[in-house]
Structure 1
Amino acid sequence: MIFASIIAYFKDRMAKQAEFLRLLDEINSLSDRDLRDLRADRMEMIRHARQQVYGAKAA
């Protein structure tokens, strides 16, 4: 039982990390011009991505 929960925990962490890295790649692919057009800040977008994937306490 404990072994199964440990495996589930690590699977969840790996899935969250994969999702965050996908979002990070997408954000980093935006050019400075794209960000200006969106009136967005790259670091703010990364912070929001982290909160979306890992939850509000990850900030």
Structure 2
Amino acid sequence: MTDTRGSLAVETLLKLVLVLVAILLIIEVMQAIVGTIVGLLQPLLMLAILGLIVLWLLDQL
């Protein structure tokens, strides 16, 4: 039986690590963008929910 551990080239491992780091950076940027959008829309969403509750209480829905 042949031992195949360590048969991966250093360049291949480096490329794999770089791809994983790039994916993590993309996820961080997307999280920041989505967080900003949600942060801007949160007051509008809360006003919409408040309006729906008031309309429901006044039997307008």
TM over 0.5: yes
What is the TM-score of this pair, normalised by structure 2? 0.55
Q: Does 1:16 align with 2:24?
A: no
Residues 1:3 and 2:11 are matched in the alignment: no
With CA pairs under 8 Å and 6+ residues apart, which has the higher RCO, 1 or 2?
A: 1
CA displacement at 1:31 relative to structure 2: 4.6
Q: Which runs of 5+ in 2 are unaligned?
A: 1-11, 50-61
Q: CA RMSD in A?
A: 1.2
Q: Which has the higher helix share?
A: 1
TM-score by length of structure 1 reads 0.56
Letter in 2 for 1:28: G
The residue that corresponds to 1:46 in the other structure is: none
Question: In 2, distance between residues paired with 1:19 and 1:9?
Answer: 15
Q: Distance in 1 between matches of 2:15 and 2:26?
A: 16
